[in-house]
């Protein structure tokens, strides 16, 4: 029987009580042979994630300052889990090694990875599973690029040698053993890699909500769970800000056709969300699947009379951004205008150089930057065939008293994307959900 890979997120492993829930879940299905663990997350809204504490230790250490305050908080988090569960584990030995390394040669990714490393070791000890260090199987280049095929080969080999194992999420290493991490929330990616490498029949992603919700529950209370969703819809929603699953966690399992099931550790009987290539017939008619969004965008707006006659104008504009390492997110165009929506943080890091190059190379009639944009994506396979969805979205936003600053329809007809002022973001999402949810 093919195994199940189960990834448990930070809140699912935040304290001993959560570890007990995880054990019950694991024992309930013998197929749950490979587990991926996150670092302890928040126990309540006032709490701190161990990963955040580790980043703070690193930053203090790198500045040559005393990091004992966050370090002792980390010690206490793990000590409590060990004590409450009655585990035998040399925490002081493990922590003094980490502290030593932080003092002698502080490395940011190494520091951040230790939350997953320690938590996975504790979970393995608690369940009697083997511990399989991601540093030995998840491969990066020395400059931090993830190596998918080499990882798959190494991870498949390592997993084939163990019947049951816990793997720490979020990190791997290069050939010299230097640790590299994925971006934040990256344990979801490790889970997907393990599912592919193990030839799993299912990738379970256990978290603190009962699946993918129609929208962010921090903006709209009880938005309703999406029972089934396709990989493509999920990718759109997670890329645009539905942070329940890391946006890169879809690829490894999609290629292998392994379904993902997002589940709630605190309500294990809820069926959660199933993610696969196709929807069951009963849901195939659905028009809008979900709404997601993010703040932190800017739009570079370029105007030039007869731009339409200048072959390659858009390409040259995008090349200028690319040359400065700024990826573009959306690019709505008119006859004599083109806007490029970019991540504000990466754009601001090289803003004046980019604007200078645009002036020099493209000689626009007008060049401006719109700041403080939030982008909202309304996503659903059914939108391609349904009439009037865009009109309903736009009037919902207008009814919420919000001005739309940009519109872009993805070429797949899978989404409609609108840009609004950051200050209007929550209101616009609420308005859209009232009209379409």
Binding site for ligand ASP (CB under 6 A): 9-10, 38-39, 49, 51, 115, 169-170, 184-188
Q: Concatenate the DSSP letters of all residues of 121-154 into one string.
A: HHHHHHHT-EE--GGGTSBB-TTS-B-HHHHHHH
Output the six-digit token pair for 33. Answer: 């042979």
Which position among 3, 41, 185, 272 is part of the footprint of Mg ion (CB under 5 A)? 185
Residues in Cβ contact with 44 at an 8 Å cutoff, skipping those fewer than 6 apart: none
DSSP code for 383:
G
Residue 431 contact partner, candidates ligand ASP, Mg ion, ligand ADP, none, CB within 5 to 8 A by sort of partner = none
Residues in Cβ contact with 228 at an 8 Å cutoff, skipping those fewer than 6 apart: 273, 274, 275, 276, 279, 280, 283
Query: Is the distance from CB of 23 to CB of 8 less than 8 angstroms?
Result: no
172 touching ligand ADP, by CB under 6 A: no
364 touching Mg ion, by CB under 5 A: no
Sign, Cα dihedral of 336, 342, 345, 349 = negative
Q: End-to-end distance of the chain based on CA atoms, in angstroms?
A: 39
Nearer to Mg ion by Cβ, of 9 and 290: the residue is 9
From the list 237, 22, 267, 254, the residue with the least C-alpha distance to 120 is 22
Query: Is the distance from CB of 307 to CB of 336 less than 8 angstroms?
Result: yes
Query: Is the distance from CB of 416 to CB of 397 less than 8 angstroms?
Result: no
Give the span between the Cα atoms of 156 and 353, in whole angstroms: 46
Residue 4 contact partner, candidates ligand ASP, Mg ion, ligand ADP, none, CB within 5 to 8 A by sort of partner = none
Nearer to Mg ion by Cβ, of 9 and 272: the residue is 9
41 touching ligand ADP, by CB under 6 A: yes
Residue 11 contact partner, candidates ligand ASP, ligand ADP, Mg ion, none, CB within 5 to 8 A by sort of partner = ligand ADP
Mark 251-270 with x for binding to Mg ion (rule: CB under 5 A) and - for no binding: --------------------
Which position among 218, 269, 363, 411 is part of the footprint of ligand ADP (CB under 6 A)? 218
Nearer to ligand ASP by Cβ, of 115 and 252: the residue is 115
Output the six-digit token pair for 398. Answer: 């207008």
Angular region, 382: left φ>0, alpha ψ -120 to 50, beta rest: alpha
Residues 188-207 contacting ligand ADP, CB under 6 A: 207
Q: Hunting for tokens 């083997």 — which residue is that?
A: 130
DSSP code for 82:
H
Q: What minimum distance in Å lies between the beta carbon of 46 and ligand ADP?
A: 15
Residues 291-330 contacting ligand ADP, CB under 6 A: 292
Nearer to ligand ADP by Cβ, of 8 and 347: the residue is 8
The residue count for binding Mg ion (CB under 5 A) is: 2
Residue 272 contact partner, candidates ligand ASP, ligand ADP, Mg ion, none, CB within 5 to 8 A by sort of partner = none
Give the range of 24-32, 97-105, 215-223, 392-400 binding ligand ADP by CB under 6 A. 215-223
Give the span between the Cα atoms of 105 and 353, in whole angstroms: 34
208 touching ligand ADP, by CB under 6 A: yes
Max CA separation in the chain (angstroms) = 74
Mark 221-260 with x for binding to ligand ADP (rule: CB under 6 A) and - for no binding: ---------------------xxx----------------
Nearer to ligand ASP by Cβ, of 160 and 183: the residue is 183
**Residues at the contact surface with Mg ion, assessed by CB under 5 A:** 9, 185
**Residues at the contact surface with ligand ADP, assessed by CB under 6 A:** 9-12, 38, 41, 185, 207-209, 212-213, 215-218, 242-244, 292
């Amino acid at each position: 029987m093919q195994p199940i890979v189960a990834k448990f997120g930070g809140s699912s492993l935040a304290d001993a009580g959560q570890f007990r829930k995880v054990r019950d879940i694991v024992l309930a299905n013998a197929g749950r042979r490979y587990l991926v663990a996150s670092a302890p997350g928040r126990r309540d809204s006032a709490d701190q994630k161990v990963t955040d504490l580790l980043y703070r230790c690193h930053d203090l250490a790198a500045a040559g300052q005393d990091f004992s305050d966050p370090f002792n908080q980390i010690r206490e988090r793990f000590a409590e889990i060990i004590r409450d569960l009655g585990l035998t584990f040399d925490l002081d030995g493990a922590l003094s090694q980490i502290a030593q390394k932080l003092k002698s040669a502080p490395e940011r990714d190494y520091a951040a990875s230790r939350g997953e490393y320690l938590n996975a070791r504790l979970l393995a000890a608690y369940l009697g599973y083997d511990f399989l260090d991601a540093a030995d199987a998840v491969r990066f280049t020395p400059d931090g690029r993830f190596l998918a095929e080499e990882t798959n080969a190494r991870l498949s080999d390592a997993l084939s040698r163990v019947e049951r194992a816990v793997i720490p999420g979020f990190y791997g290493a290069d050939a010299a053993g230097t640790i590299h991490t994925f971006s934040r929330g990256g344990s979801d990616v490790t889970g997907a890699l393990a599912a592919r490498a193990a030839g799993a029949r299912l990738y379970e992603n256990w978290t603190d909500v009962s699946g993918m919700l129609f929208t962010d529950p921090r903006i709209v209370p009880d938005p309703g769970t999406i029972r089934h969703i396709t990989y493509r819809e999920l990718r759109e929603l997670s890329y645009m800000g539905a942070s329940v699953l890391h946006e890169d966690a879809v690829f490894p399992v999609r290629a292998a056709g392994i379904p993902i099931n997002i589940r709630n550790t605190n309500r294990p009987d809820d069926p959660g969300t199933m993610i696969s290539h196709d929807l069951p017939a009963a849901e195939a008619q659905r028009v809008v699947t979900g709404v997601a969004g993010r703040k932190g965008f800017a739009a570079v707006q370029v105007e030039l009379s007869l731009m339409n006659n200048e072959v390659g104008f858009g390409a040259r504009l995008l090349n200028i951004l690319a040359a400065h390492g700024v990826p573009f997110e959306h690019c709505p165009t008119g006859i004599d205008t083109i806007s490029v929506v970019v991540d504000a943080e990466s754009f601001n890091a090289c803003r004046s150089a980019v604007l200078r190059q645009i002036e020099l190379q493209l000689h626009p009639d007008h060049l401006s930057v719109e700041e403080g944009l939030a982008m909202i994506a309304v996503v659903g396979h059914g939108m391609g065939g349904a009439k009037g969805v865009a009109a309903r979205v736009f009037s919902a936003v207008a009814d919420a008293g919000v001005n739309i600053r940009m519109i872009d329809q993805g070429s797949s007809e899978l989404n409609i994307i609108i840009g609004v002022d950051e200050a209007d973001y929550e209101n616009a999402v609420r308005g859209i959900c009232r009209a379409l949810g």
